[in-house]
Amino acid sequence: MSEALAELLRHPALWRGDTAGAAVRTIPSGFPRLDARLPGGGWPASTLIELLVSSAGVGEIRLLLPALCRLALASPESPRWIAWLAPPHLPYAPALADAGLDPARMLVIQPRAGLDRLWAMEQALRSGACAAVLGWTGAASDQALRRLKLAAEEGQSPAFLFRPPLHRDEASPAALRLALTARDYGLDVEILKSQGGMPARIDRLSIH
Amino acid sequence: MIEGRPATSRPAPAKHRPALDLVPERPLPTTDAGPRELWLAAHFPRLPLDAVLPASSSARAAVVTAEDDPKRRIVACNERASRQGIAPGMGLSAALARVPGLRVEERRPAAEAALLDRLGRWALRFTPVVSLEPPAAVLAEIRGSLDLFGGAMALCRRALGALHDSGLQASLALAPTPRGALWLARSDLGLSVTRVAAMADVAARLPLSCLQWPAETMETLAGLGIQNVADLLRLPRAGFVARFGPRLLDELDAGIGRRPEPRRRHVVPERFDERLDLPMEAGDTGALQPALVPLLQALDAFLRARASGIAGLRLDLLHRGQPPSRIRLGLVRPAGDVAHVRGLLAERLARHRLTAPVRALRLRSGVLLPLTLRDSGLFERGQSADPEATARLLDRLRARLGRDSVFGVCPVAEHRPERAWRIAEPGGTVPLPGQWPVTRPERPLWMLAEPQPFDGWEGTLVTGPERIETGWWDGHDVRRDYYVALTRSGVRLWLFRERPPGHGWFLHGVFG
């Protein structure tokens, strides 16, 4: 490699596909097979992550639980919320406690109107008061998703956005997009998009 | 050295009582050598009545009765009632037998406290050191104010005149200790003392009733043959403590100046309260937003000058010819940052529907609260939450979505799944009593608000049954067999069948 090229590559504004992932702060997912396929070895810590779920309840929360526990325990002296925005059902406190998540750190937000959901999710992300925000916002424009991503970066909080699989073929600004399908007591995880990583497929990830 | 002046304000002329001659000064073992104080005590024997009935209604005999008393004993009565033979302590039926047309009111402790608070504020015009002695006395340290008011007697006359004009019955007394002044005012003998050394001797002549000790203590003392404070002071100290506890002995010592008695100052809470007249009447809330700016700037300056925050605000929209519309704002944590308040108020104003044009705004703060200073995380932000950020997020979400749309969850130690949790204030979970039972089978992460009939589902039962049979004692008994089921689409569900079988399947949770 020529001297000039090496110098050029040291420029901070230039990034290369194979190293970009390492610069991103990540949270281990708790599933080694998944971590191996994610750049930086885990969930990106402060950006938008989109999860396309075939039907609510396939195991999408189980998939996040180890990371949520890690996030909730990250700063015991001034803990941050785990925010649940318009979840399809209410998070069940005894099960959360069994899983090791302190129910006192849960913040359930149930806006009545659809537009308020995006607004509330953005507020929760931007505030810096949430360790993670789990959102079920329904329809969202490309611009709204961009705003969520910016808010997540600003508040340094991962935004897990759950959407139905019909949005699969739409373009999305999310840093990571996964499609989740249940199969034979396990979860098929398809990495559709991964900034700094590669699309990949993990069959029958055991999450129980 | 005693000044025997009747210091009593009552509509009927007070009887003049002769001054007491005092035994010569005798040094006390530990006389307080600190700065000399002079306390003015005002006792309001008729406060329960004055708090409930305005002074103007004295044309009819009126009494106030004790609350939660089967006999409804009389606590206080007005002049007319006492002239007709009614006295405090009398049962209501006896009083009604004497005066059939008697006006009867029940005692209202909240109104009494409010009146005493007002009297405390009024006393602040004489001295900054005012202390309340609930239920019915105000104490004021007036040594420093004597020159200003032309001496103690002039000050007392002035206070009595004002109290008399407002129709309040009061007895006043001066003493070098607050407790001593209180005893003298309660005993209403028209006595005042100015030197600590004389306090013990004067106190010795007072009736026991001026102490206002609990009834059972008074009964015990009567049983011991103790008639007045002099007898009390002669009791051996160790025996007194053993029988009545140290608190009452401390009170006695404080009264006669053997030990200092720290008093809690009555402080009037400071509030922000400003009004802004609009140049022209505003018909929609959008026009009010810019008008709020100067008010909020004034609030900002006010809070900064006091290094304080507010936990609540009220914005009144004043209309012409009808009562103002009020917008109340409560904050999760005291805020000193007006920008935050402005955002919340703008949100609330935008949702407010105006009933009439607005001609003025009035912004009134709640009580001021000290702000805790925080370092704002110079290097790393976001790793740990700034407690203000969490509170601010709650305020903002609730201002727009409504209070009930933002909540926390809390587990409850209970076997019935639907009762094993409840909605709670975010972050306000109470610790579980004892060990949380983690040995029971897995619970779903998501719970339906109500079990749903779920017949005709397709899939396989994975585990079960888990029998839950409980709650027969409170009428919400549960007799169910729970199963974990896996549907065709791979969703794990928590289902149950009622026992005895026959009702079919119910869906209760989703494992998520």
| Cβ atoms < 10 Å from Cβ of B297 | 12
pLDDT above 70: residue B491: yes
- When CB atoms are compared, the residue of A58, A75, A103 closest to B491 is A58
Residue B191 DSSP label? -
Determine, for residues B429 and A102 on separate chains, whether the beta-carbon distance falls below 8 Å.
yes
pLDDT level of residue B242 (50, 70, 90 thresholds)? confident
pLDDT above 60: residue B30: no
Q: What token pair was written down for A201?
A: 């497929």
pLDDT at B25: 36
Across B391-417, average pLDDT = 85
- In B, which residues are within 8 Å of A109 by CB distance? 397, 401, 405-406
| Residue A167 forms contact with B (CB below 8 Å) | no
- According to DSSP, the residues that pair with A91 across neighbouring strands are B446
pLDDT above 60: residue B191: yes
Across B78-101, average pLDDT = 85
pLDDT above 70: residue B472: no
| Residue A156 forms contact with B (CB below 8 Å) | yes
pLDDT level of residue B293 (50, 70, 90 thresholds)? confident
| Residue A206 forms contact with B (CB below 8 Å) | no
Cα torsion A107, A111, A114, A116 to 10°: value is: -80
- Among B22-31, B33-42, B48-57, B244-253, name the most confident range: B244-253
| Residue A12 forms contact with B (CB below 8 Å) | no
Cβ-contact B308, B371 below 8 angstroms: yes
Angstrom distance (rounded) from CA B509 to CA B445: 8
A28 vs B31, residue with greater confidence: A28
Task: Return the residue of A nearest to B404 by Cα.
Answer: A110
- In A, which residues are within 8 Å of B393 by CB distance? 81, 123-124, 127, 129-130
pLDDT level of residue B226 (50, 70, 90 thresholds)? confident
- When CB atoms are compared, the residue of A77, A81, A182 closest to B390 is A81
Taking the alpha carbons at both ends of chain B, their separation in whole angstroms is 85
Angstrom distance (rounded) from CA B427 to CA B439: 26
- Under the phi-then-psi rule, with left for phi > 0, alpha for psi from -120 to 50, and beta for the rest, what region is B82? alpha
pLDDT at B435: 46
Which DSSP string do the residues of chain A spell out, in sequence order?
A: --HHHHHHHT-TT---TTTGGGGS-EE--S-HHHHTTSGGGSEESSSEEEEEESSTTSSHHHHHHHHHHHHHHS-TTS--EEEEES-SSEE-HHHHHHTT--GGGEEEE--SSHHHHHHHHHHHHHTS-EEEEEE---S--HHHHHHHHHHHHHHT--EEEEE-GGGTTS----SEEEEEEEETTEEEEEEEEETTS--EEEEEE---
Q: What is the pLDDT of residues A79-133, one digit of tens each?
A: 788 999 999 888 998 888 888 888 888 999 999 877 889 999 999 999 888 999 9
pLDDT above 50: residue B32: no
Place of tokens 């306390």: B39
pLDDT at B376: 41
Q: What is the pLDDT of residues B246-259, one digit of tens each?
A: 888 888 888 888 88
- In A, which residues are within 8 Å of B392 by CB distance? 127, 129
- In A, which residues are within 8 Å of B400 by CB distance? 116, 119-120
| Residue A123 forms contact with B (CB below 8 Å) | yes
pLDDT at B383: 46
| Residue A88 forms contact with B (CB below 8 Å) | yes
Across B441-450, average pLDDT = 85
pLDDT at B12: 40
Angstrom distance (rounded) from CA B183 to CA B205: 11
Across A189-197, average pLDDT = 89
For strand A48-53 and strand A159-163, is the pairing parallel, antiparallel, or unpaired?
Answer: parallel
pLDDT above 70: residue A23: no
Q: What is the pLDDT of residues A132-181, one digit of tens each?
A: 999 998 888 888 999 999 999 988 899 999 999 888 888 899 999 999 98
pLDDT above 80: residue B51: yes
Q: What's at B113, amino acid-wise?
A: A
Determine, for residues B386 and A128 on separate chains, whether the beta-carbon distance falls below 8 Å.
yes
Q: What's at B263, amino acid-wise?
A: R
| Cβ atoms < 10 Å from Cβ of B373 | 8
Closest CA to A93 of A84, A101, A103, A83: A103
Cβ-contact B369, A64 below 8 angstroms: no
What mean pLDDT is reported for chain A?
85
Element (H, E) at B180: helix B178-187
Angstrom distance (rounded) from CA B512 to CA B509: 9
Cβ-contact A48, A162 below 8 angstroms: no
pLDDT at A18: 54
Angstrom distance (rounded) from CA A86 to CA B406: 10
pLDDT at A169: 87
pLDDT above 80: residue B307: no
Closest CA to B203 of B253, B161, B247: B253
Determine, for residues A92 and B405 on separate chains, whether the beta-carbon distance falls below 8 Å.
no
CA distance A20 to chain B (A): 22
pLDDT above 80: residue B430: no
Q: Give a three-class secondary structure readout of B452-472.
A: EECCCCCEEEEEEEEEEEECH
In this prediction the ipTM stands at: 0.83
pLDDT level of residue B56 (50, 70, 90 thresholds)? low
Torsion angles phi and psi, residue B222, rounded to 5 = -60, -40
* Sheet with B74-77, edge to edge strand ranges: B74-77, B62-65, B103-106
pLDDT at A51: 94
pLDDT level of residue B403 (50, 70, 90 thresholds)? confident
pLDDT above 60: residue B434: no
CA distance B387 to chain A (A): 7
pLDDT above 80: residue B384: no
Torsion angles phi and psi, residue B308, rounded to 5 = -125, 165
pTM for this predicted structure? 0.54
What mean pLDDT is reported for chain B?
80
B502 vs A173, residue with greater confidence: A173
For strand B421-424 and strand B308-319, is the pairing parallel, antiparallel, or unpaired?
Answer: unpaired
Q: Which of residues 172-191 of A touch B (CB under 8 A)?
A: 181-183, 185
| Residue A41 forms contact with B (CB below 8 Å) | no
Determine, for residues B393 and A124 on separate chains, whether the beta-carbon distance falls below 8 Å.
yes
Determine, for residues A129 and B493 on separate chains, whether the beta-carbon distance falls below 8 Å.
no
- According to DSSP, the residues that pair with B292 across neighbouring strands are none
Place of tokens 């109470």: B430
pLDDT at B203: 85
- In B, which residues are within 8 Å of A185 by CB distance? 486
Determine, for residues B509 and A92 on separate chains, whether the beta-carbon distance falls below 8 Å.
yes
Across B359-364, average pLDDT = 91
- Among A118-132, B346-360, B399-413, name the most confident range: A118-132
pLDDT above 90: residue B43: yes
Determine, for residues A80 and B510 on separate chains, whether the beta-carbon distance falls below 8 Å.
no
Angstrom distance (rounded) from CA A98 to CA B438: 6
Q: What is the pLDDT of residues B79-88, one digit of tens each?
A: 888 888 888 8
Which of B386, B404, B409 to mutate to test binding with chain A, by most A CBs within 10 Å of its CB? Answer: B409
